[in-house]
Amino acid sequence: MIEDDFYATIKFKNGEEIFAKVAPSEEEEETFLIVSNPIVISEVKSRMGVVGYKLDPWLKTCDEDMLIVRMSEILTISESKSIEMIMMHQAFIRSNERDENNEPPISREMGYISNVNDAKTLLEKLYNSNSFQPPQR
């Protein structure tokens, strides 16, 4: 039995293969799939073998994140429970949302990243130093 929404790899009759979150829908005796943020995954290889994966949007000139596909165009569909694939898909979506909002990617150059103990020690040193002047009320 198919759940409402699930992640899947879809192979089309024309040979294309995508990964997306999908939801089946039936209208007027025809079944459709609503695909959310479909991506194409390519293996990145080196001399040593597969190094990683490259993710690209399925439709490069489309701004829509949900598309409708007829089941008659699909050769096969396979539900994916691979946490690695799902995490890559979600990271790709977050990355695209940051790009659309013109937000720069998070990096160490944006500021110092520390743990709580290091930050506490640094702030205590600043407070106890002679150069620190508490705000006047």
Query: Which residue ranges form the domains of the chain, and what is each CATH number?
Result: 6-128 (2.30.30.100)
Q: HSE on the CB side for 5, CA within 13 Å?
A: 7
pTM: 0.66
Quick: pLDDT tens for 114-130.
677 777 787 787 777 76
SS3 content of the chain, % helix, strand, coil (to 5): 25, 40, 35
Quick: pLDDT tens for 37-74.
999 998 888 888 777 888 999 998 888 889 999 999 99
